[in-house]
Structure 1
Amino acid sequence: MIVLALTMTMGAPFATAFDLESDQPIRVNADNARLDEGQGIATYTGSVEMSQGDANLMADKVVLHRDENGVSRIEATGTPARYRQPAMEGQGETDARALTITWSASDNRVTFRREAVIEQGGNLFRGDVIHYDSAERVVTAEGSADQGDGSGRVEMVIQPRGNSGSNPDNNPNGQDTDGSSQGQ
């Protein structure tokens, strides 16, 4: 197993996910819903679409856990589950996917498990497990056991500061990311 930690000061890899402490409502649409008020669990299945403000989650199944303070945990599974958030605070749009995505309010952590990929503004994080600690602003990525094909490794691509990918529309002065001029 390969473990790599990266602090957010090297380039903000992605924004926090759903804000479980926000006053903004979380909206859920699904084919089926089961609410267990005694346990504080709501289970949604079948083409689940969940949103809070501009943040969106699409999954096969979503389980919301509530406590006396509101939603405390969100577990999403899919093939893959997909989370999207528009650009904010100088960060590019976030597009994240994994077979399992979990948000936990108590430890300020978002965890992407199995086939995890997070893309934002040209930055890419890929691994078996990716944790984002929103309080400490630290990303930790873990690879899976190597099966002889190199797939067990963590992959990260971090764009230089001020560069949000190689899109010429994002580069008004006509220079490539290495500083050379683009051809005419």
Structure 2
Amino acid sequence: MTMTFRALTAALVLATLSPVAALSQGAQLAFGGIRADPSLPVEVTADQLAVNQTDGTATFTGNVLVAQGDMRLSAAEVLVEYGNDDRTRIERLHATGGVTLVSGTDAAEAAEAVYTINSGDVVMTGNVLLTQGANTVAGQRLTVDLKSGTGRMEGRVKTVLQPGDN
């Protein structure tokens, strides 16, 4: 009986620690809420706009809010890079200064983020904090595939999992 109890206790401890061990080295995460359709129009609202015709960029500053479908990205500044061949097509958004990405019930915060429109990839770096309901995951780099709703957190990952949540 004692041996069975010890084996059961050891199995429970290992089962509890395995997600944390996997996350501490970088892990694949599900982002049911953080999804977007990269083909939808991108709406940008800000306090100021500066356009550079030479390099094909536009810089939005002050309370910047980027919306695409249900996804929202806010930051202090967003640099919009247009295509070389087609200056009407957005290729990439580079957000800096208190970046927050929200979609559904999921939210992620970071120092900066780069959203590549064609691929639907968002790379957030610098003290990243992802909140999914009562659970949180923190690290240095979060890569999210908005099309599939999956992502990967890297860089000394730390998580807080609430008992009973899956």
Query: Is 1:101 equivalent to 2:109 in the alignment?
Result: no
Alignment of 1:114-129 (within 5 A): 114-129=126-141
The question of 1:4 aligning with 2:26 is answered yes
Larger Rg: 2
1:75-127 residue CA offsets vs partner (Å, 9 max, x unmatched): 1111x211222x3xxxxx12111010111134432111001111123342210
- For the 8 Å contact 2:78–2:95, the answer to whether it is kept is yes
Output the amino acid matched with 2:27.
A
Determine the structure 2 residue equivalent to 1:16.
35
1:65 aligns to 2:81 (yes or no): yes
Residues 14 and 118 in structure 1, CA contact (< 8 A), matched pair in contact too: no
Number of positions where the alignment pairs a residue of Structure 1 with one of Structure 2: 139
1:76 paired with 2:95, answer: yes
How much does 1:36 deviate? 2.3
After TM superposition, the structure 1 stretch with the greater mean CA deviation from structure 2, 48-57 or 93-102, is 48-57
5+ long unaligned stretches in structure 2: 1-23
Q: Letter of the 2:102 partner, please give it.
A: R
Answer yes or no: is 1:155 the counterpart of 2:164: no
When normalised by structure 2's length, the TM-score is 0.69
Q: Given that residues 13 and 123 in structure 1 are in contact (C-alpha distance below 8 angstroms), is that contact kept between their aligned partners in structure 2? A: no
Q: What do you get for the CA RMSD once the two structures are aligned?
A: 2.7
The 1:72/1:98 distance shift into structure 2, 3 A limit, reads: same
> Is residue 13–residue 120 contact of structure 1 (8 Å, CA) maintained in 2?
no
C-alpha separation between the residues in 2 aligned to 1:53 and 1:136? Answer: 15
Q: What code does the residue aligned with 1:6 have?
A: Q
Structure 1 residue 138, shift from structure 2 partner: 4.3
Distance 1:36 1:70 in 2: 15
Distance 1:138 1:52 in 2: 18
Distance 1:129-1:13 versus aligned 2 partners, 3 A rule: farther
**Does residue 1:131 correspond to 2:143, yes or no?**
yes
Instruction: Flag the structure with higher helix content.
Output: 2
Q: Quick one: distance in 2 between partners of 1:55 and 1:7?
A: 18
* Closer, same or farther: CA 16–37 of 1 in aligned 2, 3 Å: farther
Change (3 A) 1:156 1:20: same
Matched-pair contact (CA < 8 Å) for 1:5–1:138: no
Higher RCO (C-alpha 8 Å, min separation 6): 2
2:73 and 2:107 mapped to 1: Cα distance?
10
Q: In 2 relative to 1, CA 28–108 (structure 1 residues): closer, same or farther, beyond 3 Å?
A: closer
